[in-house]
A and B are shown apart, each in its own frame.
Chain A
Amino acid sequence: AQKITQTQPGMFVQEKEAVTLDCTYDTSDPSYGLFWYKQPSSGEMIFLIYQGSYDQQNATEGRYSLNFQKARKSANLVISASQLGDSAMYFCAMREGDAGNNRKLIWGLGTSLAVNP
């Protein structure tokens, strides 16, 4: 079974609007971490935002925020005020267990976002 599911293969958004990219996860470990990465057409993988399972508040980094719903096992990425440069593939990933002992990530298949002018 997929441990990280990104159900939206492709998304479109108008410039300056907000967009939500979905990510659901599956783990029985009470300690885990959730990550979002961006991969533009140039190919590099860029870290965006992190949410720990014990974090009390949703993570935010500039225009990126993470809508973390623990009971639903979802960690959706919200991009506010979309820009043309946000057009890219976005990957959700999970680390099961504590960071100290296990640093391997499980990856989703990604969502392609296109921002229209």
Chain B
Amino acid sequence: DAGITQSPRHKVTETGTPVTLRCHQTENHRYMYWYRQDPGHGLRLIHYSYGVKDTDKGEVSDGYSVSRSKTEDFLLTLESATSSQTSVYFCAISVTSGGTSTDTQYFGPGTRLTVL
């Protein structure tokens, strides 16, 4: 258990409304990630963070923004939700062992978002 929680776990919203998903970790890891998982596409990186206020885009960042004002929290915002953003969203952290020789991503439980 890497101490990662996501909230909410399930959400149904309407097209055009803003939505914020929260990822919280308890172990002060530097790197955090947001992914979406869709059938036929596997896991796709939306945004990631390498420290407080340090974020960068992933491969599917359009329509999403992120913020990280504290080490433990990484927020994903859909500014104006669309039906194409219906998906399962996973947060992950990167844990290093053996100096920098090995890093492993551990995942939160996921958030199932439905945009009607």
Contact A52 B102 (CB under 8 A): yes
Stretch at the interface among B17-25, B60-68, B93-101: B93-101
* B15 contacts chain A at the CB level, 8 A cutoff: no
Seen from chain B, the residues whose Cβ lies within 8 Å of a Cβ on chain A are 31, 33, 40-45, 48, 50, 58, 88, 90, 92, 94, 96, 100-107, 109-110
13 residue pairs A–B, Cβ–Cβ below 8 Å = A43-B88, A45-B43, A45-B110, A47-B104, A99-B101, A99-B102, A100-B100, A104-B33, A104-B45, A104-B58, A105-B43, A108-B42, A109-B40
In the bound complex, residues from chain A placing their C-beta under 8 Å from that of B109 are 43-44
* A17 contacts chain B at the CB level, 8 A cutoff: no
In the bound complex, residues from chain A placing their C-beta under 8 Å from that of B44 are 107
Type the 1/0 row for A51-95, where 1 means its CB is closer than 8 Å to any CB of B: 010000000000000000000000000000000000000010101
Q: Which of A25-60 contact B (CB under 8 A)?
A: 33, 35, 37, 43-47, 50, 52
Contact A109-B42, Cβ < 8 Å, known A43-B109, A100-B100: yes
In the complex the two chains form, what is the Cα distance from A15 to B42 in whole Å? 27
Seen from chain A, the residues whose Cβ lies within 8 Å of a Cβ on chain B are 33, 35, 37, 43-47, 50, 52, 91, 93, 95, 98-100, 103-105, 107-110
Contact B42 A110 (CB under 8 A): yes
Contact A109-B90, Cβ < 8 Å, known A45-B107, A99-B103: no
In the bound complex, residues from chain A placing their C-beta under 8 Å from that of B102 are 33, 50, 52, 99
Q: Which of A43, A50, A107 contacts B42 (CB 8 A)?
A: A107
Contact B90 A45 (CB under 8 A): yes
Contact B104 A50 (CB under 8 A): yes
Q: Which of B33, B41, B48, B50 contacts A109 (CB 8 A)?
A: B41
In the bound complex, residues from chain A placing their C-beta under 8 Å from that of B58 are 104
In the complex the two chains form, what is the Cα distance from A91 to B40 in whole Å? 13
**Besides the contacts A43-B88, A52-B102, A105-B45, what 10 more A-B pairs have beta carbons closer than 8 Å?**
A43-B109, A43-B110, A44-B107, A45-B92, A45-B107, A52-B101, A99-B101, A103-B48, A103-B105, A108-B42
Ordered nearest first, which 8 A-B pairs have the shortest CB separation? A100-B100, A45-B107, A99-B103, A107-B43, A109-B42, A103-B94, A107-B42, A99-B100
